Amino acid sequence: MSAQETTSTIAAVAPPRSFLRRVWDSDVFYSFRRSPVTILAALVTLLLVGASVFAPWIAPYDPFNPASLNLMDGFTPPMSSSMSGNYFLFGSDHQGRDVLSTILYGSRVSLFVGVSATLFAIVLGVSLGLAAGYRGGVTDSVIMRIADIQLSFPAILIALLIFGIARGIIPPSRHESMAVWVLIVAIGLANWAQFARTVRGATMVERQKDYVSAARIMGVHPLRILVRHILPNVLGPVLVIGTIGLALAIIEEATLSFLGVGVPPTQPSLGTLIRIGQGFLFSGEWWILFFPAVTLVLLALAVNLLGDWLRDALNPRLR
Amino acid sequence: MLAFILRRLAQSIVVMLVVALISFMLFRYVGDPIANLVGQESRISDIEELRQRLGLNDPFYVQFARFIANAVQGEFGISYRLQQPVTELIVSRLPATIELAFASAMIALVFGVVLGVFTALRPKTFATGVIMTLSLVGVSLPTFLIGIGLIYIFAVELQWLPSFGRGQVTDLGWWRTGLLSESGRRSLILPAITLSLFQLTLIMRLVRAEMLEVLRQDYIRFARARGLSKRAINFGHALKNTMVPVITITGLQLGSVIAFSIVTETVFQWPGVGSLFINSVQVVDVPVMAAYLMFIAFVFVVINLIVDILYYAVDPRLRVHGIGAGK
Amino acid sequence: MRKLLLTASVIALGAVVTPASAETVRWARASDALTLDPHSQNQGVTHNFNHHIYETLLNRDVEGNLIPRLATEWYIKADDPTVWVFKLREGVKFHGGQDFTAEDVVFSLNRARSDKSNMRQLHADVADVIAVDDLTVEVKMSGPSPLYPNNITNTFIMDKGWSEEHDVVEVQDFGAGEDNYAVRNANGTGPYVLQSRQPDDRSVLAWFDGHWDEKPAVTEIIYLPIKEAATRVAALLSGEVDIVQDVPVQDIERLSSTAGVKVETGPENRIIYFGYKFGDAPLKSSNVTDKNPFNDAKVREAIELAVDREAIKRVVMRGQSVPAGVATPPFVNGWTPELDAFPAPDVAKAKALLAEAGYPDGFTVTLDTPNDRYVNDEAISQAIVGMLGQIGIKVTLASRPIAQHSPIILNSDTDFYLLGWGVPTFDSAYIFNDLVHTKDGKYGAYNVGLYSNPELDAKIQSLGTEVDLDKRNATIGEIWKVVKEDRVLLPIHNQVLAYAMKDNINLAVHPENQPLLNTVTYGE
């Protein structure tokens, strides 16, 4: 998909022209236009997200359907056909799965886990941060102390523990169907504290301001004040942390897979694919590791670059 | 002052207790230690008997109380896997992890500061763009992949550096160090680089942001106006003022570097506490896992306490509210 | 160029690490021995390590035959079929200088069968151990036990005096938080003396010059556990270790084609198989809620016909397995080539059988598999999922580390599972007792699917005391026939072990994966 095509698709479905004009002229978008790296990152992200969303229609094979697999297709090198006549652009893995298709489906799993976990972390972190910043006092102390404890452990360790406890609580027969959700909760719970801290700080600043005091004196419900007045003011930093958090969540999922906890191998994420692939590093089947690894790095890098750009764009002092 | 420290101490103890409860509780669910302790030979009746002996059939709160009582005395029981006192195991593994953590923190600090200053002083150049983008590659690659990649290139293909372990270690009685031998120092390079990349990116970006911030300040402008040399301004004033938050963050991060080393130690077979923890997780060696978590929490609590007290001493404004030290 | 580089660095390493001594071997494995206490854990890696420091009365050679070690002769007492007599080797000394006598054997066997020992199941039928004279020991059994010598190849002999001196007469009670001297210190009669040991890191062993046997080629062993497979292989490729015992099957080819490295392979005494849940109760993980499809012999036959063992061997195992039609390794007494035959895969017939059994559209079920215990265990299960998918059985794969798989197995909390079984006694009874006999307190501990056949149970129990070996073997044959026809278990293959080493080292693969490094020879 070329850059031209992207812009024209946006134009085709875009809201009224004046809005588009406003976006185009805005500071944020100006800095976007000015940075070729950011444009490239946005394109890569769009491409990968699009490819994974439409994986069932794009992918040459359905790697998640075990019945369609032929074990004897295994270890076919890239750009060649197996004995059964199947063609594999990126080669096939140890189960005879098409590496390209597993990457498309795997990105889907990785993105789903990453996005959901980040959203979960945002919702949790922002609500707690708002509560702590607005209420202050004991509420603040308790929430921030919990955030401290949480931050004292690396996210991976926390996710590992939450995954462990979930395995214990959920009956074994349901482990596989729940695995993705457990991962989301585990990674989400490991990452909320960053949001809570940022939002708390911003909230404390905002609540001192006159317009908030005025609203409070007028008897506006605190929840309404929080949502209508304070929340919009803290969204900027949340967006920045959220973008970087997404990249982090994707990497965390991959690391958890490496440590042996994660989604079932029959429905692999990018991380699971890399874990499987690294077993073939020395045996010559480099493509089983190489393509998923490149995809993961591209995805994380593109999202990180976007986050980087957002931070600079939303913080004019740094320009 | 005393009241503040006492309150902080009390909070720290609460934190430790909560971590103790969580770690103790979580591990009860990670798996069944019994299944790993008995051989293929054992019968159900033996397993029942072993459970009884390990006290795993006692009520939850009895087990927890026993755990706390022992933990306070630094007593975490005997490892199910290696059958040695856990405290002794962790103490014997600590030097490896600490040497690795310090080496990687030094790499991160030196390269992070240099690159951070460079990119801040030349914000618009092509080199800065490249460095900023490349630094993101470091945080976009999972640690285990970096480690395996480095082993493949530098140990297998080029054969420049060892692929695993600590090399020749020297026993100083209370500390087994790898720093005194050449093979020990060479063994440290790859894992230290692997572990440092994440922190390096963090420090570099922090230094850059702080530098940019400081360079905009009025006193720098005055210094420029007074005609001070560029070097004196950049390094004498700007960098010096940047270093306070940088060193604070690096110090705070040290605890998480130690914990972060789990993956690095596993990949490089580095005989530290991180690999001890992963080996224990695999066979559900509860005493080791619990002790490790408590240890990490303890390191963090101590570092935080020190930082808080230092801040308190430095920043008089904090004395008004006392709580919520600005981290 | 590559080769040149390699040679150069090997020379350099040799010069730095081992001055003027070619007899040091750096030996890498995936994991470390758990303890030095010889009776505390019944675990292969631990035994393998301890075999270099301690010795057993009897041992197994690389063909699986019993050979003398500390005992030179062993026989059933002429006038009492319940007594085994062991004649001990003369002139054996412990590392600490103490003489090896019958008292030490009595002490060690009693320690091995004490309450806290994990070796005690192997000595469950021992009633008493008596020292007749300095070099003769009689073991009195509770009944005729013709196969008892098979049970003692991992029971090590300690010095009685040393144990009393260091208060290690009892096996460590680690649950009670007790520390124990024998966990970290050893005094055996073996060919090597422990020099130093850091668990999970490195252990150094040096040749014991008072050993009764001739001086081995290897006089120093540096034992290096390296957990990550990629790192382990890298260490051999870069010349940092000499022998790697746990080689991933996919790396065998690369290693064999690397200059200066060779790979030895050989069959292990371990069968990998799948098991089903039996009984009328519906399966927990299936969409068939009124009956148990696995209880239907036709379904089990259909599954066997859907499984392509040769494909698993070729792709998943890279040719490193011995496909099996019976749930016993070829080493074991009772194995025959006829039993080991298996049908060629036939998907059409399998589908027809499923339809005949009343499942034309197949059914769903969950397969529980470990992912860190056997060679490529997860990949094998994954392949089975695909093969059963082709006949309409939709399998969900539940993959777990062995620590979480074991409780599911021991509690029979599974409908369909993968497991491996080693046969240390080299006799079929060992398999029948645990896998086939109805599950009760004494038998069937690993009869996970709760298969029950009273007729077989009676025959299995008769094996324990039958002294007439011909008659006993006939019964074994009868039992296997029923087990195979009934498709109680679905055997896939026997594992193959691979050791990789520098190409001037000769070390044969041991079927129990217990190679002794004092058997290493050098040269082409």
Divide the 524 residues of chain C into consecutive groups of 10 and give the mean pLDDT of each group.
Answer: 40 38 83 88 88 95 91 93 94 94 95 85 89 95 88 94 92 73 92 92 93 92 91 90 92 89 92 94 90 94 95 92 94 93 94 94 92 89 93 90 79 91 88 90 85 94 85 94 95 94 92 92 80
- Count of helix runs (H) and strand runs (E) in chain A: 14, 2
Query: B260 lies in a domain?
Result: yes
Least confident of B101-115, B245-259, C439-453: B245-259
Q: Does C34 touch chain B (CB under 8 A)?
A: yes
Q: Are B186 and B164 in contact (CB under 8 A)?
A: no
ipTM: 0.78
Place of tokens 């969950």: C366
Q: Which pLDDT tens digit goes with each residue over A142-155?
A: 888 788 777 766 77
Place of tokens 């494909």: C311
Beta-sheet pairing, C394-400 with A87-88: unpaired
> What pLDDT shows up at residue B53?
67
pTM of the complete model? 0.83
Q: Using CA atoms, how far apart are residues C208 and C226, in angstroms rounded to an integer?
A: 26
Q: Using CA atoms, how far apart are residues C248 and C116, in angstroms rounded to an integer?
A: 35
Q: Are B96 and B274 in contact (CB under 8 A)?
A: no
What is the gyration radius of the CA atoms in chain C, in angstroms?
25
> What pLDDT shows up at residue A111?
93
Q: Which pLDDT tens digit goes with each residue over A6-32?
A: 444 444 454 556 767 776 677 777 777
B89 CB-side CA count, 13 A: 32
Q: Using CA atoms, how far apart are residues C177 and C172, in angstroms rounded to an integer?
A: 9
H-only helix segments in chain B: 2-30, 33-37, 44-54, 60-72, 86-121, 126-140, 143-150, 182-215, 218-225, 230-231, 240-268, 273-282, 286-314, 318-321
Q: Are C504 and C524 in contact (CB under 8 A)?
A: yes
Query: C111 lies in a domain?
Result: yes
Q: Using CA atoms, how far apart are residues B150 and B160, in angstroms rounded to an integer?
A: 11
Contact B212 A318 (CB under 8 A): yes
Domain identity same for B65 and B95:
no
Place of tokens 């195992």: C317
Contact C234 B152 (CB under 8 A): yes
Domain identity same for C154 and C230:
no
Backbone angles phi, psi at B33, to 5 degrees: -60, -30
Query: C189 lies in a domain?
Result: no
Domain identity same for B62 and B174:
no
Q: Does A22 touch chain B (CB under 8 A)?
A: no
Cα distances (angstroms) measured from residue A253 to each of A114, A133, B293: 8, 31, 21
Chains near A (3 or more Cβ pairs under 8 Å) = B, C
Query: C512 lies in a domain?
Result: yes
Q: Using CA atoms, how far apart are residues A280 and B29, in angstroms rounded to an integer?
A: 33
Min distance A150 CA to chain B CA atoms (Å):
10
pLDDT at residue B253 greater than cutoff 90: no
Domain identity same for C238 and C369:
no
Query: C169 lies in a domain?
Result: yes
Q: Does C175 touch chain B (CB under 8 A)?
A: yes
Domain covering A36-58+92-318, topology: MetI-like fold (1.10.3720)
Q: Using CA atoms, how far apart are residues A245 and A239, in angstroms rounded to an integer?
A: 9
SS3 A74: coil
> What pLDDT shows up at residue C107?
96
Eight-class DSSP state of B225: H
Angle at C80 between CA C75 and CA C83, to 5 degrees: 50
Test mutation, B136, B202, B212, B321, chain A, max A CBs within 10 A:
B136
Query: B84 lies in a domain?
Result: no
Backbone angles phi, psi at B217, to 5 degrees: -65, 160
- Chain A residue numbers touching B22 (CB-CB < 8 A): 161
Domain identity same for B156 and B274:
yes
In chain B, how many domains are there?
2
Domain membership of residue C513 as a residue range: 1-32+200-260+503-524
- Chain B residue numbers touching C225 (CB-CB < 8 A): 269
Min distance C238 CA to chain B CA atoms (Å):
5
Backbone angles phi, psi at C112, to 5 degrees: -65, -25
Choose one of C156, C174, C192: the last residue of a domain: C174
Query: B327 lies in a domain?
Result: no
Burial B136-148 (b: 16+ CB within 10 A, else e): bebbbbbbbbbbb
SS3 C518: helix
Query: B163 lies in a domain?
Result: yes
Domain membership of residue B259 as a residue range: 90-318
SS3 C266: strand
Q: Are B28 and A168 in contact (CB under 8 A)?
A: yes
pLDDT at residue B46 greater than cutoff 50: yes
Q: Using CA atoms, how far apart are residues C45 and C51, in angstroms rounded to an integer?
A: 10
Domain identity same for C28 and C65:
no
E strand or H helix that includes residue C256? helix C252-256
Chains near B (3 or more Cβ pairs under 8 Å) = A, C
Domain identity same for B47 and B188:
no
Assign residue C144 the CATH number of its domain.
Answer: 3.90.76.10
Domain identity same for B60 and B180:
no
Q: Are B120 and B211 in contact (CB under 8 A)?
A: yes
Query: C459 lies in a domain?
Result: yes
Domain identity same for B198 and B271:
yes
Backbone angles phi, psi at C375, to 5 degrees: -65, 120
**Structure tokens, C361:** 């559209």
Domain identity same for C254 and C355:
no
Output C361 or B238, whichever has higher pLDDT: C361
Q: Which pLDDT tens digit goes with each residue over B168-191?
A: 888 887 788 888 888 889 999 999
> What pLDDT shows up at residue C100?
95
Domain identity same for C28 and C42:
no
List strand residue ranges (DSSP E) for C45-160, in order: 58-60, 66-68, 71-76, 83-88, 126-133, 136-141
Query: B120 lies in a domain?
Result: yes
Domain identity same for B263 and B138:
yes
Assign residue C463 the CATH number of its domain.
Answer: 3.10.105.10
